[in-house]
């Protein structure tokens, strides 16, 4: 499932085509994805102007001039891609509509934005902009890791007395928004912390050190266009390439990238998910 860097990459890729533009026509080609689409979704979107595109955790939010916000989740295999040339620099034709192009936005600037989702685990909803943060999917999400409310004091307090492994704690969306399996593995490697250690038994100083590392890893991943392992594509259809910078994730049995380390990367299973670590560097 796309994590924060992938979703932020898609949001940034959509912005030139959608922000400030009007949806001249919305095509909704099926009644549902993970759950049913809202009533009259195509009608409510057609003619609406996108005032801004933002992200909350792993959700893209398009605020419309009608007082509604389009909430988008990419799910396991969802892609939002742009065709056409909204900047008027080149002449591009739109590709033929594909089998899994479930929602298509025809923008007034000539761009076409297509939501394609073969496995249909993605989702869209229309919610009131004024009360969007109280939506059940958004209400209990923790602070954004790249924002000011995510800081050392917050993370130290959240970890106090916590008996779950540190990896599980960092995956908890109530503690910090948007982190998933890939980036938590990479963060804990850079921090030199064993993913199986109990969160509440890590010193406050080491917990605090996670904050800048989390920001560093996420920033690098966004700059690289996210990680493309299976289905993820950027809004222009290109692959992300942060997967070429992985130090532990997916590298079971390979040599640790720390120059002075002779160990190999191991994989353990935590709560049904694969965790990758260096047994020598992470203690």
Confidence of residue 74 (pLDDT cuts 50, 70, 90): very high
Q: Is the same domain home to 116 and 222?
A: no
Q: Is the same domain home to 177 and 218?
A: yes
Report yes or no on 257 lying in a domain.
no
Q: What is the pLDDT of residue 168?
A: 97
150-159 pLDDT, tens digit per residue, is: 999 999 999 9
Decide which of 84 and 263 is more confident.
263
Residues pairing with 115 in the sheet:
80, 103
Whole-angstrom Cα distance, residue 100 to residue 133? 30
Range of the domain at 230: 152-246
Q: What is the pLDDT of residue 86?
A: 65
Contact criterion met (CB below 8 Å) for 13 and 101: no
Give the mean model confidence (pLDDT) for residues 48-76.
Answer: 97
Look at residues 137, 133, 125 and name the one whose alpha carbon lies nearest to residue 33: 125
Report yes or no on 282 lying in a domain.
no
Q: Is the same domain home to 126 and 227?
A: no
CA distances for 125 relative to 33, 136, 194, 226, angstroms: 10, 12, 39, 25
Whole-angstrom Cα distance, residue 135 to residue 72? 13
Whole-angstrom Cα distance, residue 265 to residue 164? 23
Decide which of 225 and 217 is more confident.
217
Q: What is the pLDDT of residue 90?
A: 46
Confidence of residue 231 (pLDDT cuts 50, 70, 90): low
Residue 88 has pLDDT above 70, yes or no: no
Report yes or no on 260 lying in a domain.
no
Give the mean model confidence (pLDDT) for residues 246-274.
Answer: 96
Instruction: Give the end of a domain, one of 99, 134, 169.
Output: 134
Beta-carbon neighbour count of residue 277 at 10 Å?
A: 24
Confidence of residue 227 (pLDDT cuts 50, 70, 90): confident
Q: What share of the chain in percent tops pLDDT 70?
A: 94
Give the active site residues. Answer: 2-3, 58, 273
Q: What is the pLDDT of residue 89?
A: 52
Residue 113 has pLDDT above 80, yes or no: yes
Residue 219 has pLDDT above 90, yes or no: yes
Please tell me the least confidently modeled range out of 49-58, 194-203, 230-239, 262-271.
230-239
Q: What is the pLDDT of residue 243?
A: 86
Q: What is the pLDDT of residue 129?
A: 98
- Whole-model pTM: value is 0.92
Structure tokens belonging to residue 9: 């990459």
Give the mean model confidence (pLDDT) for residues 228-241.
Answer: 68
Q: What share of the chain in percent tops pLDDT 90?
A: 84
Q: Is the same domain home to 101 and 170?
A: no
| Number of domains making up the chain | 2
Kind and range of the H or E run holding 122: none
Report yes or no on 75 lying in a domain.
yes
Q: What is the pLDDT of residue 87?
A: 57
Q: Is the same domain home to 128 and 195?
A: no
Give the mean model confidence (pLDDT) for residues 67-91.
Answer: 82
Confidence of residue 108 (pLDDT cuts 50, 70, 90): very high
Please tell me the least confidently modeled range out of 74-83, 187-196, 258-267.
74-83
Backbone angles phi, psi at 276, to 5 degrees: -110, 135
195: CATH: 1.10.8.50
Q: Is the same domain home to 13 and 130?
A: yes
Instruction: Give the end of a domain, one of 134, 167, 193.
Output: 134
Tell me the average pLDDT of the chain: 93
Residue 232 has pLDDT above 70, yes or no: no
Q: What is the pLDDT of residue 117?
A: 94
Report yes or no on 146 lying in a domain.
no
């Amino acid at each position: 499932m796309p994590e924060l860097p992938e979703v932020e990459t898609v949001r940034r890729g959509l912005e030139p085509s959608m922000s400030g533009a009007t949806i001249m026509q919305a095509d909704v080609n099926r009644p549902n994805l993970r759950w049913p689409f809202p009533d009259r979704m195509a009608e409510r979107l057609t003619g609406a102007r996108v005032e801004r595109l933002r992200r909350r955790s792993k959700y893209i939010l398009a605020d419309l001039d009608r007082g509604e916000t389009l909430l988008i989740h990419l799910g396991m295999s969802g892609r939002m891609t742009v065709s056409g040339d909204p900047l008027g620099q080149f002449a591009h034709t739109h590709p033929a509509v594909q089998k899994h192009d479930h929602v298509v936005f025809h923008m007034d600037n000539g761009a076409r934005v297509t939501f394609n989702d073969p496995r249909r685990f993605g989702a869209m909803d229309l919610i009131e902009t004024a009360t969007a943060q109280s939506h059940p999917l958004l209400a209990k999400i923790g602070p954004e890791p790249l924002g000011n409310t995510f800081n050392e004091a917050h993370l130290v307090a959240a970890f106090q007395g916590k008996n779950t492994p540190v990896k599980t704690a960092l995956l908890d969306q109530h503690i910090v928004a948007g982190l998933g399996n890939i980036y938590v593995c990479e963060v804990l490697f850079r921090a030199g912390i064993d993913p199986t250690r109990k969160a509440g038994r890590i010193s406050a100083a080491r917990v605090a050190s996670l904050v800048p590392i989390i920001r560093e890893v996420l920033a690098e991943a966004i700059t690289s266009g996210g990680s493309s392992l299976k289905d993820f594509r950027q809004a222009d259809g290109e692959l992300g390439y942060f997967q070429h910078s992985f130090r532990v994730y997916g590298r079971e049995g390979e040599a640790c990238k720390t120059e002075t380390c002779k160990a190999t990367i191991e994989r353990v299973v935590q709560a049904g998910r694969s965790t990758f670590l260096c047994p020598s560097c992470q203690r």
